[in-house]
Amino acid sequence: LKLQFLYFIVISFQKKKITTSVMQVNPMRKNDVEVNIGPVDTPIEEVPCYMHLLRHLLGLLLLPFTIFLVWNTVKPKEALLVMCFGKLWKVIYSPGCHIIVPWGCDFHTISTKYVTMDTGNSTISDLNGNPVIVGAIVNYHIEDPIKAFFNVEDVDQYVRTNSEVVLKSVVSKYPYESKDPSAPSLKGCSDEIKTELVLELRKRVRVAGVHVTVFDLSDLYYAPEIASAMLIRQQAQATIDARHLIVNGAVDIVGGALEGLSARGIRVSESEAAGLASNLLCVLCSEGHVHNVMPLQQADKK
């Protein structure tokens, strides 16, 4: 009788102490896009009184076992879902030890910690049709344990599969590299691409109660079948850019030399200026060592 009296006191005290609430859908964050996808949310249901009475009667009949089974520990960054006779009864978020009569109840722990996932490398065609190998890193966490438990079978696999789909969809919209530095490209990995990746994935995984915070490219390079051809193309482009820089610099030097001669009062004819410019450009733009060549003029024979 003393044990039964103590049992009722502990249960009554625990009911006053535990506060339960349904985690509501968070308000729209900035840049979020609302979509109508997935099943309806599972609400917390009111368990009939006779079910609770039955649970407590079982607890009294099996009191020696109940004393050892009523203790339920909730760690930080965890949520405890309590199912009573197949109905969602309560969700406990506060860390600590909670006393709940176990008979007729199922307990499910959902972690709300941040998770980092590597999508792995996959071959995708960019905007120009060039196959590139792309890998990404995704950071996310569960913000609605009820959705994560009832709406999907495996949260991590659900996020991984949708991450791969979103990655292929977004990468195919942009070129590997762009001639215009201001235009977005995969190689530059601009903020526009990162934002699009995060928003597209958020729309897909919101049904699972998941919030994505980071979706960044970790690996990006040409596929082996075109890597050698793209390397030759890049080398040729680099050579052309270097030649443009050298020629523009040589022209500036020649112009400065002619202006300096004119400022010092040294008059140069058009033919002499053309010859001076030709010789300077030849010296400045040549790759190898330049040898001086002196023209020899023969006297006219009479």
- The three-state secondary structure class of 252 is helix
Q: What is the pTM of this model?
A: 0.65
Q: How far apart are CA 165 and CA 205, in angstroms?
A: 12
Q: According to the model, what pLDDT value does residue 52 have?
A: 67
**Structure letter (DSSP) for residue 208:** G
Q: According to the model, what pLDDT value does residue 224 have?
A: 83
Please count the CA atoms within 13 angstroms of the CA of 98 that sit on its side-chain side.
Answer: 24
Average pLDDT of adjacent 10-residue blocks, the chain of 302 residues: 44 42 38 41 65 73 76 90 86 88 86 93 89 94 93 94 94 86 81 92 94 92 78 76 80 80 76 74 68 58 45
Q: According to the model, what pLDDT value does residue 117 have?
A: 95
CB of 228 closer than 8 Å to CB of 207? no
Q: How far apart are CA 208 and CA 189, in angstroms?
A: 28
Q: According to the model, what pLDDT value does residue 48 have?
A: 65
